[in-house]
Structure 1
Amino acid sequence: MFGLAIRSLRRRASAFTASFLAMFLGSAIIMAFASMLDTAAASGATGAAEETLTTMATVVGGWGLLLVVFAVTSMLTLSVRQRAAETALLKSVGATPGQLARMIVGEAAGLAGAAALLGIVPAMLIGRGLLGLLHDTGQVPAEIGYHFGPVALSMGTGVTLVSAVAAALISARRATRVRVAESMTAAATDRGRLGRKRIVFAVLFLSLAVAEAITTVTVMDGKGSDAMATSGQADIFAGIALSLLAPAIVRRVTRLLARPLRALGGTAGDLAISTMRHRTGALASAVTPIILFVGIAVGTVFLQAAENAATDAAGLTKTADQKSIETLNFVVTGMVVLFTAIMLVNTLIAATAHRRREFGQTRLAGATPRQVLGAVAVESAVLTVTGVICGTVAAVFTVVPFGLARRDSLVPDGNLPTYLAVVALAAVLTGVTAHGATRRAIRVPAVEAALR
């Protein structure tokens, strides 16, 4: 079955591209930040320089690690879900659950190994850029040179392989437990029901977000910028929790908007609502990167704005530590914006390309290409609004507690144009990507697409 997995990767490369990109970018990010530990050890850094390098690796790298693992898991889950019909066919000709599980895990391991190896060079370039940023801001002496060593390699390859195999095992277990007839039904409709484990993990991450928020307001009140240590990661936990609950959220939003969209959108609105009801799981996967993008970007930028406002109000000049924290925050924001933006584009392209047959059947039933594009535009608008609202809620877990602890104020210190810029970027990425992927999908003749 491992040989079959390798042949499957070779012959269906395009179908695995999205998962591969998530692993490739994830391993590069993990190795880049972990290389700060190699740099500190090899260069003999001490004092403030060692602390800065260690903080960059553990704090920022830790946040990145959490995002990467979640992204890889989401993409692999989507990939396995899209292959429900293939899995059912293999089961119908005699493949056992163990054989299918080994095939799925073998595919994930093969992708992860290749992605980690190819991610080494980009990781070195990113790591050098990070160290250069620390040199330019005076947080690390210029004589400390860059080193890429065993810590970066072991963390990058280890985390990528472990997260990919673990996600594959979970997805494989779910795919192989159901009967053949149930698998065929799942392939035709994907309503994205919430499993017990998904709900448990959602509650766990939401509890962590609430705990961080409460700790910020109580224990960290009056502790100055130290409150960032607890408030800074609350939006990540909240964003992951809401992403895990995305299928239920999308389903609820669909019910609420069904009548207005059908009345205002005509045929396109009707097609969009029908799709959102029957493809909830796949569409919820597209909401996930929007939630993370908006939640973490808004939370981090507004958190830093509150810190700057507190410093200015006290009439103080930023210390070296404060500059270090500000640099970390903007590095986090840049990393999150880039990674989640790529994840968003990646997920939308993968999800839309898989709908080529659906688009062909819809056109054979009488829908015009313009109506198909209109339906996708309506879906994109609904997904964007849903993701922005959920992401804003996630950001609140960081912004409000930090504002109370640092400034005794419930009013965010960030400005409206910054928030609108984040929302606009999320909307543009979603709309342009979905429109472009759909146009490519409907270029195939309807009959040919419906038979694929």
Structure 2
Amino acid sequence: MFGLALRTLRFRAGGFAAAFLSMFLGASILMTFGSMYDTAVLGGASGTGQETMVTMASVVGGWGLLLVVFAVASTLTLSVRQRAEEIALLKSVGATPRQLRRMIVGEAAVLAMAAVACAVMPAALAGRGLLELLISTGQVNADVSYVFGPLAVPMGLVITFVAATGAALLAVRRTARMRVTESIADAATDQGRMSKKRIAGAVLFLLLGLDLAIVTATAMRNEGSDAMSTAGQASIYAAIGMALLGPIMIRRVVAVLAGTVERLGGVTGYLAVCNLRRRTGQLAGALTPIVLFTAIATGTLYMQSTENAALEAAGLAKSVEQKNIETLNLVVIGMIVVFAAIMLVNTLLAATTYRGREFGQQRLAGSTRRQVLGMVALEGAVLTVTGVLLGTVAALFTILPYASVRLGSALPEGSPVVYAGVTALAVVLTLGTALGAARRAVRSPAVAAVTV
């Protein structure tokens, strides 16, 4: 089956692009921040500069690790669900569940190795650029030498490989156990039924986020800006918990908005609601990066605004340590924005392009190209509303306790324009990507799309 995995990768390269890109980006992020630890230990750094780089490597690298593992798992799960008919065909000709697992895991292993190899050079360049940023802001001495490799490369390789193969194994388990008829039915009506393990995982991450929020508001009350260490992580854990509940949340939002969408959209609205109900599982995969982007960007930006307001109210100038923290937060925001934005585009492209045959069938049944595009736009709008709503709730796990600690207020500092900007970017990325992919998918004749 490993040989079959290699042949599948060779002849269906386009179908694995989304999974490969998520692994490539993940490995790049991990190795970039891993190089900060290499440089801190082996590059001649000392004192505050060394501490800054070690902190950046551990904090940002740790957050990146969590996000990378989750993003890779989400992308591979979407990929396996899209191949349910192919897996059912293999079962019908005698493939066993064990052979199917070996094939899928083998594909993920090859993709992971290739992704890490391609990510080495970009990560080395990004790490050098990050060091130059720290030197230019006076946080690291200019005589520190950049070092890349001893920790960065093994960390990127091991974590990416384990995340990819582990995610592939988890993604294929349910499909491999199904009967042939069940696999085909699941591919056609992917309603995203949640397993008990997924629900338990969602509850666990939400409780971790709540625990850190409570710790921030109580134990960290007199710790000043050090409270960021717990407050910042709270929104990440909460966002992952919210994303894991994606299928349930999409169904709830659709139930509330279905009547409005159908009245406003007519036939297009009806088609959108039907597809939202039938494709909940696949849409939940696209929901994940929206939730992560909204939660972490909003939470971190308002947390930093609150910190700036607290220092101004106390009449204090920013110390070197506080400047380090602000730089760290901006680096986090930059990393999250780029990573989540690319993952959002990547996931939506994979999910929408895969639906070319479905769009062809709808057109043969009487739908026009305009109605198909309108359906995709309404689906994207509902998806955006759900993702921004969940991300906003997750961001409150960071914003509210930190505002309470630093300002003694339930309201954070910061302009509403910040939140509007985050929301607008989520809308543009979601609708722009979905509509762009759908336009390309409906250019071909309907008959040709159905027979592909």
Tell whether the structures are fold-level matches, with TM greater than 0.5.
yes
1:177 alignment partner in structure 2: 177
1:429 maps to 2:429: yes
CA distance in 1, matches of 2:450, 2:410: 54
2:442 alignment partner in structure 1: 442
The one-letter code sitting in structure 2 at the alignment partner of 1:121 is M
CA distance in 1, matches of 2:286, 2:56: 30
CA distance in 2, matches of 1:196, 1:375: 32
CA distance in 2, matches of 1:12, 1:26: 22
Identity rate, percent: 60
How far did 1:48 drift? 1.1
1:317 alignment partner in structure 2: 317
2:397 alignment partner in structure 1: 397
2:316 alignment partner, SS class: coil
CA distance in 2, matches of 1:396, 1:160: 30
CA distance in 2, matches of 1:108, 1:414: 43
1:380 alignment partner in structure 2: 380
1:267 maps to 2:271: no
CA distance in 1, matches of 2:437, 2:239: 26
Q: Deviations over 1:106-161 (max 9, x none)?
A: 00000000000000000001101111111011111010011102200100011000
1:119 alignment partner, SS class: helix
1:242 alignment partner in structure 2: 242
CA distance in 2, matches of 1:229, 1:29: 20
Q: Single out whichever of 44-53 and 220-229 deviates more from structure 2.
A: 44-53
Q: Deviations over 1:51-74 (max 9, x none)?
A: 111001000111111111110010
1:144 alignment partner, SS class: coil
Q: Deviations over 1:330-367 (max 9, x none)?
A: 00000000000000000000000110110000000000
1:242 alignment partner, SS class: helix
2:266 alignment partner, SS class: helix
Q: Deviations over 1:272-321 (max 9, x none)?
A: 00100100011111111111111000000000000000000000010000
Q: Single out whichever of 365-374 and 405-414 deviates more from structure 2.
A: 405-414
CA distance in 2, matches of 1:211, 1:44: 39
1:98 maps to 2:129: no
CA distance in 2, matches of 1:121, 1:241: 33
The one-letter code sitting in structure 2 at the alignment partner of 1:337 is V
Q: Deviations over 1:405-446 (max 9, x none)?
A: 111111121110111011001100111111100000111211
8 Å CA contact 2:360, 2:447 repeated in 1: yes
CA distance in 2, matches of 1:341, 1:295: 13
CA distance in 1, matches of 2:426, 2:160: 27
2:224 alignment partner in structure 1: 224
How far did 1:450 drift? 1.4
2:145 alignment partner, SS class: coil
Q: Deviations over 1:188-237 (max 9, x none)?
A: 11000111110111011001000000000000002100100100111100
1:86 alignment partner in structure 2: 86
- Residues 9-158 of structure 1 aligned to structure 2 (within 5 Å): 9-158=9-158
Please give the TM-score of this superposition, normalised by the length of structure 2.
0.99
How far did 1:44 drift? 2.9
- Residues 258-337 of structure 1 aligned to structure 2 (within 5 Å): 258-337=258-337
2:342 alignment partner in structure 1: 342
Q: Deviations over 1:25-79 (max 9, x none)?
A: 1100100000111111212322211111100100011111111111001000000
The one-letter code sitting in structure 2 at the alignment partner of 1:79 is S
2:7 alignment partner in structure 1: 7
Aligned residues: 452
How far did 1:451 drift? 2.2
1:142 alignment partner, SS class: coil
CA distance in 2, matches of 1:19, 1:251: 26
Q: Deviations over 1:228-280 (max 9, x none)?
A: 01001111001000000000000111111111111111111001001001000
The one-letter code sitting in structure 2 at the alignment partner of 1:368 is T
The one-letter code sitting in structure 2 at the alignment partner of 1:299 is G
Root mean square deviation, CA, Å = 0.7
CA distance in 1, matches of 2:258, 2:179: 33
- Residues 360-375 of structure 1 aligned to structure 2 (within 5 Å): 360-375=360-375
The one-letter code sitting in structure 1 at the alignment partner of 2:261 is L
1:233 alignment partner, SS class: helix
- Residues 156-167 of structure 1 aligned to structure 2 (within 5 Å): 156-167=156-167
Question: Any runs of at least 4 consecutive aligned residues in structure 1 with deviations exceeding 6 A, and if so which?
Answer: none
Please give the TM-score of this superposition, normalised by the length of structure 1.
0.99
